[in-house]
A and B are shown apart, each in its own frame.
Chain A
Amino acid sequence: QKEVEQNSGPLSVPEGAIASLNCTYSDRGSQSFFWYRQYSGKSPELIMSIYSNGDKEDGRFTAQLNKASQYVSLLIRDSQPSDSATYLCAENSGAGSYQLTFGKGTKLSVIP
């Protein structure tokens, strides 16, 4: 069974610091990876997708993928209190796959 593992946290970082969120996955066939942000009581919101090894940057967010080591990470630079949320990692096992498999999420708290 495919698994996506995340540290549940909470991860606490001071405002302005870099928050580093990590995710490992079990399926070597996984091809697409996603980071969702979920505020308490709200629905998940897609914030980053990454498909190839290396880094992908979007504003304060950087996603990193290492397929050989089967991990994905999300860096949040200049963390803000508004970044406090649960971050979900998800993977898709290939172009023919309908399903995303989600990790249980890491709760991030940014302390002012």
Chain B
Amino acid sequence: DAGITQSPRHKVTETGTPVTLRCHQTENHRYMYWYRQDPGHGLRLIHYSYGVKDTDKGEVSDGYSVSRSKTEDFLLTLESATSSQTSVYFCAISEDRSVYGYTFGSGTRLTVV
């Protein structure tokens, strides 16, 4: 996972609280993604970014927002966490859209109680 760091690695939070997950990259890649991974569902795209301040929704974006103010940082915010958002969250980066695949970060395990 060299070049891409996610923080925190683990978090337990209460229902209704806001939560922000951070993805930081040192590869200067233009494209960044947030996925969640759940048993029985696999990896599903939440949001992605194709440049500073340029973001778009994925297939499971409800309840999530993102921001990208610098090339290296992509933040995922759960405005009001719910138990259904308990999951493992992966950030990924790519150099040229998805043509050559992604590199994933180590993941954040989020538990909403």
The chain A residues found within 8 Å of chain B, CB to CB, are 32, 34, 36, 42-46, 49, 88, 90, 92, 95-100, 102-105
Q: Which of B60-68, B77-85, B94-102 contacts A (4 or more CB under 8 A)?
A: B94-102
B97 touches A102 (CB 8 A): no
A-B contact pairs, 10 of them (CB 8 A): A32-B100, A43-B90, A45-B104, A46-B101, A46-B103, A88-B42, A92-B97, A98-B31, A100-B101, A102-B43
A-B residue pair count with CB separations less than 8 angstroms: 58
B14: A residues at CB distance < 8 A = none
The CA-CA distance from A49 to B90 in the complex, in Å, is: 20
B41 touches A96 (CB 8 A): no
Number of B interface residues in the complex (CB < 8 A): 25
B98 touches A43 (CB 8 A): no
B98 touches A32 (CB 8 A): yes
B106: A residues at CB distance < 8 A = 42-43
- Since A46-B103, A92-B97, A95-B99 are in contact, a sample of 11 more A-B pairs with Cβ atoms closer than 8 Å, ordered by chain A residue number, is A34-B101, A44-B43, A88-B43, A95-B97, A96-B97, A98-B33, A99-B98, A102-B42, A102-B43, A104-B40, A104-B42
Nearest residue (CB) in B for A104 is: B42
A43 touches B104 (CB 8 A): yes
A49 touches B100 (CB 8 A): yes
Shortest distance in angstroms between B25's beta carbon and chain A's nearest beta carbon?
14
Judge if B58 is at the interface, Cβ distance under 8 Å: yes
A104: B residues at CB distance < 8 A = 40-42
What are the 7 closest A-B residue pairs judged by CB atoms, nearest first?
A: A104-B42, A43-B104, A102-B43, A92-B98, A34-B101, A100-B98, A46-B101
